[in-house]
Amino acid sequence: MKFYYHPQSPACQPVWMVLKELGIEYEAIELNLWSGNVDKDELFSVNPYGKVPALKDGNICLGESRAVSIYLCSKYEAADKDKPLYPKDVDSIARINMELFADLDSIVAVQKYLNIGAVFSGKAKGPCNEHFPEVKKHIDHMEKVLSNQSYLAGDHLTILDFCKLNLLGMLDMAGYTEWVEYPKIVEWRDRMSKLSYYEECHAAGFKANRQIYTAGNAKYDELEKNRDTKN
Ligand SMILES: N[C@@H](CCC(=O)N[C@@H](CS)C(=O)NCC(=O)O)C(=O)O
């Protein structure tokens, strides 16, 4: 099995954690798509959208983090597993799928808030606060769900927990610090941080992303200073 990824890519992280949690053997192929010197032909042959994550497992070629995560669980988790990462019964599948699809909306919302392209290039500083209300809907919902259960889809770890870490990682990147309003989310993240692969598959990548975001803010300040001295 070949896993095409980059450690700083949030989308790759849920798949990476599924591979680790299920103890699946794989060949990791790290692609830095932002370096501009990656030959994308092989990637496009695996993922028609040319993005990471991508997975080639025998004849199966897949992209899309949620689809890949579901595939891995459906194929490699025992049908009678007590606490599966992805459920086996129709009702639980329907419920978790709703949250996995809604998770895409949360990522779009937090991307707008982060304003990554403009901040990374020094054209803007900090997040776009006008986009925060849409993000807030998602974290409010998480807090509500976690007030009744330890994990996002029930009483045990699932792929939804892996996916949702990204929303929080992106908020950290933006410098969001109001977690005191979300004690259940804080407890949940603390629980997640105990996973043996949390640092490698999640925290390290976001630490690097946060540094790039902060550097973008500093670049903006520098450009502003130059503009001021010219005027
Ligand atoms: N919805 C996709 C998003 C995948 C995605 O946007 N991947 C980014 C890295 S986080 C990528 O490959 N970007 C490079 C490109 O678009 O060329 C998923 O969840 O897998």
For residue 80, which phi and psi values (nearest 5 degrees)?
-105, 20
| Domain end call among 52, 76, 100 | 76
Instruction: Determine the Cα–Cα distance for residues 116 and 110; give it in Å rounded to an integer.
Output: 10
Direct distance between the N- and C-terminal alpha carbons of the chain, in angstroms, rounded to an integer: 58
The pLDDT score that the predictor gives to residue 121 is 87
Question: Two tokens at 53?
Answer: 């994550």
Q: Please give the distance, rounded to the nearest whole angstrom, from the Cα atom of residue 121 to the centre of ligand 1.
A: 19
Q: Please give the distance, rounded to the nearest whole angstrom, from the Cα atom of residue 52 to the centre of ligand 1.
A: 5
- Asked if residue 115 has its Cβ within 6 Å of ligand 1, the reply is no
- Summarize the confidence of residues 123-137 as an average pLDDT: 95
The enclosing domain of 36 has a CATH number of: 3.40.30.10
Residue 45: inside a domain: yes
Same domain, residue pair 135 and 94? yes
The enclosing domain of 112 has a CATH number of: 1.20.1050.10
Instruction: Determine the Cα–Cα distance for residues 88 and 84; give it in Å rounded to an integer.
Output: 8
Q: Please give the distance, rounded to the nearest whole angstrom, from the Cα atom of residue 54 to the centre of ligand 1.
A: 9
Atom of ligand 1 nearest to the CA of 34: 14
Question: Two tokens at 223?
Answer: 């450009």
In this predicted model, what pLDDT tens digit does every residue of 162-206 receive, in sequence order?
Answer: 999 999 999 999 999 999 999 999 999 999 999 999 999 999 999
Residue 162: inside a domain: yes
Residue that the structure tokens 């803010």 belong to? 217
112 in Cβ contact with 174 (< 8 Å): no
- Asked if residue 10 has its Cβ within 6 Å of ligand 1, the reply is yes
Is residue 6 classed as helix, strand or coil in its secondary structure?
A: coil
Residue 82: inside a domain: no
Q: Please give the distance, rounded to the nearest whole angstrom, from the Cα atom of residue 49 to the centre of ligand 1.
A: 8
The pLDDT score that the predictor gives to residue 70 is 98
Quick one: pLDDT band at residue 32, thresholds 50, 70, 90? confident
Same domain, residue pair 148 and 61? no
Is pLDDT above 70 for 153?
Answer: yes
Residues 6+ apart with CB under 8 A from 42: none
Q: Please give the distance, rounded to the nearest whole angstrom, from the Cα atom of residue 12 to the centre of ligand 1.
A: 8
Containing structural domain, residue 28: 2-76
- Asked if residue 166 has its Cβ within 6 Å of ligand 1, the reply is no
Residue that the structure tokens 């597993």 belong to? 81
- Asked if residue 186 has its Cβ within 6 Å of ligand 1, the reply is no
| Domain end call among 45, 76, 107 | 76
Same domain, residue pair 184 and 213? yes
Is pLDDT above 80 for 217?
Answer: yes
Q: Which residue, 202, 171, 204, 151, is CA-closest to 15? A: 202
Instruction: Determine the Cα–Cα distance for residues 41 and 47; give it in Å rounded to an integer.
Output: 10
- Residue 126, by phi and psi: left (phi above 0), alpha (psi -120 to 50) or beta? left
- Asked if residue 53 has its Cβ within 6 Å of ligand 1, the reply is yes
Per DSSP, 4 falls in state E
Residue 84: inside a domain: no
Residue 181: inside a domain: yes
Same domain, residue pair 184 and 142? yes
The pLDDT score that the predictor gives to residue 231 is 67
The pLDDT score that the predictor gives to residue 69 is 98
Instruction: Determine the Cα–Cα distance for residues 183 and 189; give it in Å rounded to an integer.
Output: 10
For residue 3, which phi and psi values (nearest 5 degrees)?
-115, 110
The pLDDT score that the predictor gives to residue 226 is 83
